[in-house]
Structure formats: structure tokens, C-alpha cells
Structure 1
Amino acid sequence: MQNELLSCAIRAALLAGKDILNIYNDPKADFAIERKADNSPLTIADKRSHARIMDELDATSIPVLSEEGRLTDYNIRKGWKTLWVVDPLDGTKEFIKRNGEFTVNIALVENGIPVLGVIYVPVSRTLYFSEDSIGAYRIEGIDARSAGLSPDDLMEKADRLPLEQADTKGFVIVASRSHLSPETEEYIRKLESEYGHVNLISCGSSLKICRVAEGSADIYPRFAPTMEWDTAAGHAIVRASGKNIYLTDERTPLHYNKENLLNPWFIVK
């Protein structure tokens, strides 16, 4: 059953990525940028990706918590032992800047724990996927034409995470390109005093979590607001790679389908 769910999530992510790229690569496209209640941007690409993913996940009969969907009341949602947590376009700011650092995020959460994750990077055609029983993987050069392949087929061509020879030099910290808070900067200074010289790299969206999962970064501290759909897919992937996302006590993992969907500050390591 989990293999079928992973296959469905991968298909949904690849097809949504195609829909996003159709807009992103059109020089005449109007992103039709709107502003949500929290002043974050929303584009037509977010909406189309959401619609595509909902069409695909509907066949599973598992409820969906999506950034762009209607938020179900917690009195109902708290009874969901299993649910999809979706960000149809993570890194909308990066999409608008046209820097390629945006992703499609789909996670399956069971009893508050992300057990299956898919992250697709449409511009680089890179797919990350995981499920607790098989581990975490990365495959490059993949697009919607591979949407019909099974996870087993993909695993034959993919690299297991963490990568055996990750390209790192010294202690590597990955941080947000758009949301580097003073508290995060203070934590980075603490790491500098502990490790001496550190390398700080910046990137957008859930790619930061993927960097830790694959081993190209050692740690990702985030002392700034995020929502559950920002982290759930990456959390599943980093868990399956042998790491985790912890609260700032560095012991307690993040939990999902809370009444308040805002994540506490966290550290990926």
C-alpha cells in the first residue's frame, strides 16, 4: 500500500512540476501575483499546481492539508490519523525572482509523523523521495514523462541518501535565502565559535532540508516562521536519510497536524 501511495505522490509532484514550468518558461506569462492574508505572494502557478495535486491524490481517499486548499476545522482534522500535507509551490518568492529554487512538496503524515515524502525541483529536474521502509533517494534529470514509473524503477536509477561522497568542505551550514533572522544569525555565530571556520550556503524553499539529507550540508537552523507544509516532505526525507528535524532543544522532533499549523523554531541535523 505504501508503495502505491509513494507512486501516486511522485506522479502528482512530476505533473504539478510540468504545470509550473509551463508558466515559468513562458516569457509572456503573467504570474498574476496576489497577496494572501499574511502578505505572502500567491501566483497562478501555485493554484494550478494545487489543482493538479488534488486531482492525483483524490484517488487515495486520504484527506489533504494543502497550503492553497481550504483549511479544515481542527475539530475534524484532529481525527485524521493519516493525511497528506502539501505545498504545491514552495518558494513562491524564488519562483517570482526566476532563480529556480522552488519545489513541489508532498508528504504523508501518520500520527503526527511524516513517513513518506516527495520533493520535486522542476527547473533542475531533480526528484527527492522517501518512505520509511525503503530509505531516501535522489534522482536527477527526471520530468513528467517519467510520471508512470514505479518507485522500484526509480530506485534503480537513483542515489541513496545521504550520498556516499557529498561535496562538502569543512562544517557546512545552510540557511534561508529570504528569511535569515537575527536569531538564526546568532546561532550561526555560536557554531562558528564551536567549529572555527564554517561554510555558510544559502538557498530557497525545502532545498535546504534536502541539502542536509543528502549530506552536502551539516545543519540547517531555522529561527523564523514556517508552516507544516513547508517542512513535512523534507522532514520525511531527512528522517529516512538517518537525520531529523528537532525543536531548538535538539532532541524533540517536529510534530504535524497540530491545531496551530505554525512550526516552532527548529534545527535540521
Structure 2
Amino acid sequence: MNVLTNIAIRAALDAGKEMLKIFNSDDFGVRLKSDDSPLTEADLKSHHIIADALKSTDIPVLSEEGAELSHNERKDWTKLWIVDPLDGTKEFVKRSGEFTVNIALVEHQKPIMGVVLAPYLGWLYWGDENGAFKAELSKTWVDETSELIMSKMQAKTLPCEKKEVCTVVASVSHFSKETEQYINTLKVKEGTVELVSRGSSLKMCLVAEGSAHLYPRLGPTMEWDTAAGQAVVEAAGGQLFDWKIKRPMLYNRPELLNGWFLAARKGVQIEDYFL
């Protein structure tokens, strides 16, 4: 893997270990942000660990839990890290294991590398110019150094699965009426549709690995929710398109709020599924 991918994976592993300590404790330190979304001590500790790890790259960082930056402050960044220190905070608070660490490298508004770690599940996904990969970490990975983890992990090249029945992955916490209507329309087109619910960026990772054909997100997300997952999907030969323009989603935009999007695994003609 390249140097920047290596740094991002190490940062994700170090953050993931700290998150699990808090996850397994009695008190998450939950409070509400201005939009009423939950914020935990794990979000903040993960942010600081990742931000410190990425300093050595001299590439600016846009993080969900970092300072609010206007577009005027970001507009000249041709390369930046986009980070979600804890994606799926609602799942974390509910003590579901479906939360992730997301770290993406964006260049000229395109995600060129992404790392997604599901600490509780021990699943690590990454994608860059060398392809997309998944490693399943050992049960004792949290007690090991990042160097040891990376030296012994066995990675599968993605996609590594191929479901025959049309499979759609959807959000656990954000299943909208529009998504339900889309799936009903898809059933008419395909005949049979299997629905799988997952939290956080795991939905995009299932598309990348081939376990799901499609991930329609017909509701709001933020840039840090999608950048890393999109990088993994694209490195695996799939696509993630902005619903409005029918082209790959771009980043470091004036408005960080994403519109609807559709992700499709390798081999699926994504243009045929904007129903």
C-alpha cells in the first residue's frame, strides 16, 4: 500500500482501539450537538487521534468534529483529508457494533483513497490506486500494536462476493419513505429484491465487496459520511453517483451537505437504476 494509505490505516486502528474502550465502558459521555445529533467522548477522542496522526502529511483536514471551516477557507485546497471520527454514533449509543471510522483522501474534489474501519466487528476496508481490500482482524487486535496488526493481516481483494438475487442495502437509522418507494419500484423491475439493513459506512463497504448490488440513499448525509466509502467502492470497480447530476459525487464543495446518491457494485450499470 502507498505511504498515505499506510498512515490512514494506522490512524484508524489507533482511533478504533480508543473507541472500543469507551464503547465497553459504562458512560459514553453523550451530549447533543446543535442539530440534536448525539456526540460522545469517543467521537472527540477519535478525532484528536486521527488529526494528530495526519499532521505529518501536511495535508489539511476537514473533520466532522473539527473546527467549522467556511468554503472561503477551504476553496484553494486541491488535496485534503475528509474524516468522520465516528460514523454511526446512533448505533454506537445503542451499543450496536455497526459504527465505523472513516478517513478519505480527496484530490481535485475526487476521493482517491479511503479507509473504513468497523472496530467492534474487526473489519477493515481500504481502497486506493492499487485496488480495494478487506481484512478481518484477529479477536485480540485491540491489544496489539498497529505495526503488528498490519504485518500479519490477510487481505481479500474486492469485490470478493457475488450475490445473484438483487440485493439492496439501506440505513438502519435513516430509512426514509422515499427509499421504501424506490425499493418497491425496484421490485417491479427485478422481480425479487433482498433488503439488508446496516449502519454507518458499512453499507458502501457491502457494495464494494459485492454483497449488495445497490445502496440508494434518498436522504441527507454529509461529505464525511461518504468520502471514504466512495473511495473504497470506486477502487473496487463500483460507482457512487450524485442522484441529481448522475455523475460521481464531488467533495470540498461550498455546501458540505450531500444530496441523494446511489452506489452500485462492479458490473451493475448504475444509469439503469435511477428509477
For structure 1, list consecutive stretches of 5 or more residues without a partner in the other structure.
Answer: none
**Aligned twin of 2:11:** 12
Residue of structure 2 equivalent to 1:120: 117
For the aligned residue pairs, the C-alpha RMSD in angstroms reads: 1.7
Distance, in Å, in 1 between the alignment partners of 2:112 and 2:164 is 31
- Alignment partners' CA distance in 2, 1:45 and 1:182: 31
| Cα deviations by residue, 1:32-72 (Å, 9 ceiling, x for unpaired) | 11111111100001001001101101111110000000022
Once the two structures are TM-superposed, the CA of residue 213 in structure 1 deviates from its matched residue by 0.2
TM-score, reference length from structure 1: 0.93
Alpha-carbon distance in structure 1 between the residues aligned to 2:241 and 2:145: 34
Cα offset for 1:251? 3.2
1:116 and 1:236 in contact (8 A); partners too: yes
1:176 aligns with 2:171: yes
Shift of residue 102, structure 1, vs aligned partner: 0.1
1:57 to 46, 54, 57: 54
* 1:36 matches 2:60: no
**Separation of aligned partners in 1, 2:12 and 2:136:** 14
Which residue of the other structure, out of 114, 131, 134, is the alignment partner of 1:135? Answer: 131
Task: Give 5+ residue unaligned stretches, structure 2.
Answer: 265-275
Matches within 5 A, 1:39-188: 39-132=36-129, 134-142=130-138, 143=141, 145=144, 147-148=146-147, 157-163=154-160, 165-166=161-162, 168-188=163-183
How many equivalent pairs are there?
Answer: 261
Corresponding residue SS for 2:56 = helix
Between the aligned partners of 1:250 and 1:189, the Cα distance in structure 2 is: 23
Alpha-carbon shift at residue 247 of structure 1 (Å): 1.8
For the residue of structure 2 that corresponds to 1:148, the secondary structure is helix
Contact 2:131 2:236 in 1 (8 A): yes
Identity %: 51
1:73 Cα deviation after fit:
2.0
Q: Give, in angstroms, the shift of residue 3 of structure 1.
A: 1.1
Q: Which amino acid aligns with 1:17?
A: G
After TM superposition, give the deviation of residue 249 of structure 1 in Å: 5.3
Say if 1:176 and 1:202, in contact at 8 Å, map to a contact too: yes
